[in-house]
Amino acid sequence: MARRLEIRAVATTVAGLTPLRAQLPGQLSEFTARNYIAGPSGHPDGRTFDFRQRDALHYHIAAVRPLVEIALFAPDLITPEVRAKVLSGLDFLKPYFLRQATHEEFAATTVSFDLDRRDDGNPVFQGPWDPDHGRLVLRLARPVFPEIRPWTEDIVDARYDPRSKLLAAIYGEPQRRAQWP
């Protein structure tokens, strides 16, 4: 659903479909209200529904990245409430990205698709999450979520595809040039 909302945000913005675009802040609020559910404390703790159900940071990122891209492309569609939830989803990655914690992907998934692939030995559905898989979403998030900049400073480099480099440059954070002695 996050990807569908991203496509809708881009399409309505580019096509100038103002009435349809005006519906998006509410749709994003509804989506994040369902997707960022309360943790043990009773408050959202940054974990997405996909993470809780599938026990995979891979799916957590898939739920967060489209919202980050909407924030880049059409920031006026992101309400403060939605922004706070997306930021909490980014912050949830911090200990795993910084290697302060590890996460065994799909270890407690309840989805039969995941269980079948994990049990068949598919390497994507087992083993620890690789922090490099979080680089792109965090790199794209830096321009619109400056709160994550202190702990994501090391990812501003040339290790990205051309589209990601262009997006970072457009939104104010080009890669750093190599320092020569």
| Residue listed under structure tokens 């999450």 | 129
Residue count (the chain)? 181
pLDDT score at 177: 55
pLDDT per residue over 64-91, tens digit each? 999 999 999 999 999 999 999 999 999 9
pLDDT score at 88: 94
Q: Locate all alpha helices (DSSP H) within the chain, ordered by sequence.
A: 2-15, 18-21, 24-35, 49-54, 57-73, 80-97, 112-119, 135-141, 149-152, 162-170
pLDDT score at 180: 43
For the record, the structure tokens of 159 come out as 């290790």
For the record, the structure tokens of 71 come out as 């924030």
Full pLDDT tens readout for the chain, 181 residues: 999 999 999 999 999 999 999 999 999 999 999 998 766 676 778 999 989 999 999 999 999 999 999 999 999 999 999 999 999 999 999 999 999 999 999 999 989 999 999 889 898 888 999 999 999 999 999 999 999 999 998 887 777 778 877 777 777 765 655 444 4
